[in-house]
Amino acid sequence: MSSKKTSSKLIVNFDISYSLFGISSSEQIFVASIELNKLIKINLSLCKSLELKRNSNLLSFSTFSFNNHDCNLNYSLISNKTKDGFLLENYKNLDYLFIVSSNEQNMLFKQDLFKKLRSEIFIVVSELKLTNKKEIELINNVLYQLWTDTKYTHS
């Protein structure tokens, strides 16, 4: 009897909306988190790094998060770069991804948040509209991992 090594992919379909912002900055992630805390009056704090296995490499991305239970909002600042690769490979010009997720969001909230993200330490801040199916799947699984502490394998 031979034993075969099997692996499976975790695919999650969320019914949770999120806004995804890309940030370019010459500052380190902890400085960017302090700036975001000041700008939008939240309390991002360092949490377990986001781990992603890609092509037999384990990539680890620094992550800061905050859950506002009163407003039912989750905020996550994630490094887009490691020495071995990028979280979103099509956005190599971005240093950080800032994700705001909730059961529901409206356009007014997003516009107000986007206005508040203006800072001298952020070179570029832009809202990302992902259209690539693999990137959308990746972000959904990143959110799942952040909330459940489950690792994700990405091909």
Rank 13-22, 108-117, 134-143 by mean pLDDT and report only the highest: 134-143
CA distance 54 to 33: 26
Packed helices 107-116 and 29-40: angle between N→C axes, nearest 10 degrees:
120
Three-state DSSP at 1 gives: coil
* Residue 20 pLDDT exceeds 70: yes
CA distance 23 to 87: 13
List the beta bridge partners of residue 100.
19, 75
Burial class (CB in 10 A: 0-12, 13-18, 19+), 105: middle
Instruction: Write down how long the chain is.
Output: 155
- How does pLDDT run across 68-98, given as a tens digit for each residue? 877 778 899 999 999 889 999 999 999 999 9
Question: What domains lie within the chain, and their CATH numbers?
Answer: 17-154 (3.30.310)
pTM of model > 0.85: no
